[in-house]
Amino acid sequence: MAYSNKVLDHYNNPRNVGSLDKAATSVGTGVVGAPECGDVMKLQIQVEGDRIVDAKFKTFGCGSAIASSSLATEWIKGKTLDEALKISNTQIVEELALPPVKIHCSVLAEDAIKSAIADYKAKQQG
């Protein structure tokens, strides 16, 4: 099964790889995993006001999981939290032309965004 060019592009030149300060109150961290394959993904956002000003990820998994998280960080940068919450895995599937067996990779990326935002919001209340 061949990866699409967009997947290969993100896989070979992943955007926004790295970490943000997990302890900072302006940073939300989401860690999610796919039990089907044992892949794990960490996605972090830095928020100012209600806007995501920076995003970083670290994914240990297949090419599709890396591409999905790379694309996710690209898309959420500059968006408000509400806009970012609207990103769905089907948009990632379409953009990367993921085959059915790799749909769970896009689900992982969507879950990671939601989990990072939830972590950020919980920090603001704490």
Partner 1 sequence: MHPDFFATEGEEARAAAEAASAALNAAHEILSSDFLRADWLVRSQGGPDESHVREMPQAFLLEVLEWNETLEAARQAAPGSPERAAAVSLRGELLERRKQLFATLARRMTPLPQPGSPELLAARKDLNAARYLDKTLSELDALRVAQSLSH
Residues interacting with partner 1, by CB under 8 A? 31-40, 42, 58, 60, 104, 111
C-beta of 91: minimal distance to partner 1 in Å? 20
C-beta of 94: minimal distance to partner 1 in Å? 21
Given 37, 40, 62, 85, the catalytic residue: 37
Nearer to partner 1, 82 or 125 (CB): 125
**Three-state secondary structure readout of the chain:** CCCCHHHHHHHHCCCCECCCCCCCCCEEEEEEEECCCCEEEEEEEEEECCEEEEEEEEEECCHHHHHHHHHHHHHHCCCEHHHHHCCCHHHHHHHHCCCHHHHHHHHHHHHHHHHHHHHHHHHHHC
Bridge partners of residue 32, in order along the sequence: 41
Nearer to partner 1, 50 or 60 (CB): 60
To the query of whether residue 62 is one of the catalytic residues in this protein, the response is no
C-beta of 78: minimal distance to partner 1 in Å? 26
Nearer to partner 1, 32 or 47 (CB): 32
Given 20, 105, 116, 117, the catalytic residue: 105
Structure tokens belonging to residue 48: 């100012």
Q: Which residues are catalytic?
A: 37, 105
